[in-house]
Amino acid sequence: MRRRRIAFMVAAVLVVALATSVIALWQAFRPGPAAAVGTTQAASAGARGAAASGTSTPKATQDGPSAATSLRQIDRFTGGITPKSVDASGHGLVLANNMIYSHSITVYDSTTHQLVNRLSDSIDLSKFGFPGHQGIAKGGPVEAAWTKDAKYAYVSNYVMSGPGFKGFAKDECSPKSGFDKGFVYRYSVAKKTWDQAIEVGAVPKFVAITPDQKKVVISNWCDFTISIIDRATAKQTKVIKLAAQPRGIVIMPDNKTAYVAAMYGNKVFRVNMETGEHHVILAVNRPRHLVLSPDSKLLYLAASGTDRVYKIDTATDKVVSQVISGREPRSMTISQDGTALYVVNYFGKSASKIRTADMKVVQTVPTDPSPIGITYDDATHQVWVACYGGSMIVFDDTKRASGSTPTASGYSPSSDPTATATAE
């Protein structure tokens, strides 16, 4: 009898050990993004619930200003994504627009990096007040902007295809190209789907929202215009023509002054959105992306054609400083405290961190090929980098740099005459 009891106990221990091993193996190889370093299962579950409801997540602590901390890679994931842009809501969610012909957006929990939603760009426009487009149409997501309360995100679609559309567009274009009008979709966090569709110009790209949250502004790449949308009516109310291929947009606190980068027009404009009046503040080769300092006193410009980031005083509209970022800087983001800029270098397979006080590159980190989108999440002090080839890389920026900080590789435009632009 005693031998039987011992044999039973040994068997029970073996069963428990086997079950534990199977569970551990499943957790190691389960699909989807991994949780952030140092995140417990309990914390992850709580954060997922907060993010799904669109509420704020707990703020992470940081060792001093962002200019004094150091980027540290904590995650990298793939999984059927081709991210062109990425935008953090600041309230627990991060939205990525996958390459336009992937026809999808993916939404992630900003703390755990877990996938919250994957949504197709297929939509029946007739259900949103466009009877001329009966049936299912597809868009092609490009960029996004979150509302301040993080309940909604507006997403631009490069080209529409389906009933009533020609279904064709390209980056080399003009108003004479005759491409279809584009659409902006609104993503609802509560509904986890599109709840509005708004017609704008041909090949819409960048999206910005006025500080008072009343208007959405879109740059229409092939129309050479910007569209101004009234959020209350979900209608385009004004169109302002600028120059070839407008892209980056920022809006001042007065809710009427915008800066717009016309990338192939090689100009940066200051625009009065109420009157439509505008003038050039800077002529530069392929200006692409714009970012404002938190107090709006400074404007930062990434110019892909010069490999530089420019610092502009918005009181005078004059360049006060500049720095070489890397090979073809594209998108930028800025830390919550305004002390650091983060720039992706498309041909450099890297991201640069620039100290805004003196415009010095204080750190350059490697990425996967073709980094094109970047965002800073205020809640976690993490930087997300979207790589066109099919990956997302997440960097923590909360810890103070120990010893010397990696700096730029010494790249200069003259040392690389072969660098050429690709689709924007």
Q: pLDDT digit string (tens) for 365-391?
A: 999 999 999 999 999 999 999 999 999
Q: Could you tell me the pLDDT band of residue 413, with boundaries at 50, 70 and 90?
A: very low
The rounded distance, in Å, linking the Cα atoms of 285 and 306 is 6
Burial 149-185 (b: 16+ CB within 10 A, else e): ebebbbbbbbbbbbbbbeeebebebeeeeebbbbbbb
Q: Could you tell me the pLDDT band of residue 57, with boundaries at 50, 70 and 90?
A: low
pLDDT of residue 401: 76
> Across residues 69-79, what is the average pLDDT?
96
The amino acid at residue 56 is: S
111 close to 401: Cβ distance less than 8 angstroms: no
Question: Is residue 423 scored above 60 in pLDDT?
Answer: no
pLDDT of residue 31: 38
102 close to 120: Cβ distance less than 8 angstroms: no
40-49, 116-125, 164-173, 305-314: lowest mean pLDDT where? 40-49
Q: Which residues in 66-213 belong to E strands, given as ranges?
A: 72-77, 83-88, 93-98, 104-109, 115-120, 123-124, 136-137, 141-146, 152-157, 183-188, 193-199, 204-209
Residue that wins the pLDDT comparison between 167 and 414 = 167
- Of 209, 238, 204, the C-alpha closest to 221 is 204
Q: How many angstroms separate the Cα of 174 from the Cα of each of 15, 110, 183, 284, 424?
A: 69, 38, 18, 20, 15
> Across residues 389-396, what is the average pLDDT?
97
pLDDT per residue as tens digits for the range 312-370: 999 999 999 999 999 999 999 999 999 999 999 999 999 999 999 999 999 999 999 99
Q: For residue 3, what is the enclosing H or E element? A: helix 2-29
Domain ranges (residues) in the chain: 54-415
Q: Could you tell me the pLDDT band of residue 58, with boundaries at 50, 70 and 90?
A: low
Residues whose CB is less than 8 angstroms from the CB of residue 199 and which lie 6 or more positions away in sequence, other chains included:
130, 181, 182, 183, 236
- Of 101, 103, 104, the C-alpha closest to 115 is 104
Residue 319 neighbours by CB distance under 10 Å: 16
- pTM confidence score: 0.85
Share of the chain above pLDDT 90, in %: 78
> Across residues 182-201, what is the average pLDDT?
98
> Across residues 268-288, what is the average pLDDT?
98
Q: Strand 257-262 relative to strand 267-272: parallel, antiparallel, unpaired?
A: antiparallel
Encoded tokens for 372: 């094109």
> Across residues 278-304, what is the average pLDDT?
98
In 32-99, which ranges are continuous DSSP H helix?
41-53
Q: Could you tell me the pLDDT band of residue 403, with boundaries at 50, 70 and 90?
A: low
Residue that wins the pLDDT comparison between 61 and 412 = 61
pLDDT per residue as tens digits for the range 120-161: 999 999 999 999 999 999 999 999 999 999 999 999 999 999
The rounded distance, in Å, linking the Cα atoms of 97 and 171 is 18
Under CATH, domain 54-415 is a member of which superfamily? YVTN repeat-like/Quinoprotein amine dehydrogenase (2.130.10.10)
The rounded distance, in Å, linking the Cα atoms of 6 and 315 is 84
pLDDT of residue 172: 95
The rounded distance, in Å, linking the Cα atoms of 129 and 110 is 34
Residues whose CB is less than 8 angstroms from the CB of residue 331 and which lie 6 or more positions away in sequence, other chains included:
85, 288, 289, 302, 343, 344, 372, 373, 374
What is the side-by-side order of every strand in the sheet holding 371-377?
72-77, 391-396, 382-387, 371-377
The rounded distance, in Å, linking the Cα atoms of 116 and 91 is 14
Q: Could you tell me the pLDDT band of residue 424, with boundaries at 50, 70 and 90?
A: confident
Residue that wins the pLDDT comparison between 358 and 58 = 358
